Amino acid sequence: MTDDGELDPEKLGLFSYLVFSKLDGAVTAGMIHLGDRLGLYRALADSPEPLTTTALADAAGLSERWVREWAYNQGAAQVIEVAADERLSLSREAAAVLSSPDHPAFAMGLFQRLPQTMGALDAMPEAFRTGVGFDYDFHGPEGIEGGFEPWNRANLLPTVLPTLDGVAAKLERGALVLDVGCGAGGTALVLAAAFPASRIRGYDISQLALSRARERQTEDGITNVEFLDPRSSALPTDGSADLITTFDCLHDMTDPAGMMRAIRAALTENGTWLLVDIKAHDTYAENVRRNPMASLMYGTSVLSCMSSALSEEGGAGLGTLGLTATKAEQMATDAGFTRFRQLEIDHPVNAFYEIRA
């Protein structure tokens, strides 16, 4: 870049618009967080008819003036519907995404954690200087059950398990299952409830996640599952596990190659590893061209995923889009696996792989 010549007014205007459109998205994301946190979406979804801002404020126990300004943001952003008389409503699709925790499309988990994720900005300059990031507990407990758990709850049993060769039958008979990176325990609890003859172990290094997983286990009264920290209760090394799952966590790990070797040592010779991770392509150019959310993914990586993967000196730092199918297969081969198959499962963000010895 040089300082020669005049600025092109049209290009200047377009670039300014581009930059402020990103700020618009960030601010509106904050308003979505508030809509979920304050119960505004729930109140709209529960109402049989469109609501005035006064009625919505009354239903949520809030001040009308604040609700009105929030609603204007949401209407302008096309998140909620604002009629000509300014009555507010949600489409059926919006209600699924914004106010239906049991629907596979429910997306509020990530927004629940938004303040903590954005709060990492204060710590990022030091991470950029030292090269060392922060683990997931740095963000606090909010939104720990979010992410893709609603989709997994709805699809793990009917959609994913049938694609794995012989796995469902093993679980019916009774098997040992390890859910590595179990988070708040969603997958482990679904499997434990569905297959009472099997034993399920969930592993995570997040103390906040383990605490919540154990709470949920108690709430559900499930006895064939336990939740462990692998630093004090290591994965078995005797080839005793029939199924190991890793959902959206390997790219976050400081030593994913080491974890792959540990998974190989834990699996029986006929065992299956279900690897689920973010869809990614082999180059930056491909990611930008083929993924409309690439900028979101790379930014989230700085604030969360890559930060976690660099939370220890020498961390791998794969990042959100760092575990491509090519890389995953090569790393699995290096860890001693010989069979790698991408499953034909339709997911908006994740890729699914069956890996075997």
pLDDT for 2 equals: 52
Last residue of a domain, which of 69, 100, 131?
Answer: 100
Q: What does each of the 357 residues of the chain score in pLDDT, given as a tens digit?
A: 556 679 999 999 999 999 999 999 999 999 999 999 999 999 999 999 999 999 999 999 999 999 999 999 999 999 999 999 999 999 999 999 999 998 999 999 889 989 999 999 999 999 999 999 998 888 777 666 777 888 999 999 999 999 999 999 999 999 999 999 999 999 999 999 999 999 999 999 999 999 999 999 999 999 999 999 999 999 999 999 999 999 999 999 999 999 999 999 999 999 999 999 999 999 999 999 999 999 999 999 999 999 999 999 999 999 999 999 999 999 999 999 999 999 999 998 999 999 999
Report the C-alpha gap between 160 and 166 in whole angstroms.
12
Domain identity same for 178 and 254: yes
Tokens at residue 188, please? 């482990």
CATH number at residue 24: 1.10.10.10
Domain identity same for 302 and 242: yes
Last residue of a domain, which of 79, 100, 121?
Answer: 100
Do the domain assignments include residue 239? yes
Domain identity same for 169 and 289: yes
Domain identity same for 285 and 174: yes
SS3 311: coil
CATH number at residue 312: 3.40.50.150
Nearest to 71, CA basis, from 108, 114, 38, 105: 38
Domain identity same for 351 and 244: yes
Do the domain assignments include residue 126? no
pLDDT for 4 equals: 65
Do the domain assignments include residue 161? yes
Domain identity same for 35 and 158: no
CA atoms within 13 A on the CB side of 229: 9
Do the domain assignments include residue 106? no
Domain identity same for 51 and 152: no
Nearest to 118, CA basis, from 279, 307, 248, 294: 307
Domain identity same for 66 and 169: no
Do the domain assignments include residue 108? no
Tokens at residue 328, please? 């995953």
Question: What range does the domain containing 64 cover?
Answer: 9-100
Last residue of a domain, which of 46, 77, 100?
Answer: 100
Do the domain assignments include residue 86? yes
* Cβ-contact 179, 201 below 8 angstroms: yes
CA terminus-to-terminus distance, the chain: 53
Report the C-alpha gap between 26 and 118 in whole angstroms.
10
Cα angle at 117 between 113 and 119, to 5 degrees? 120
Q: pTM for the complete prediction?
A: 0.89
Number of domains in the chain: 2
Buried-state track 46-77, b at ≥16 Cβ within 10 A, e below 16:
ebeebbbbebbbebbebeeeebbebbbbbeee
Do the domain assignments include residue 30? yes
Do the domain assignments include residue 132? no
Domain identity same for 277 and 168: yes
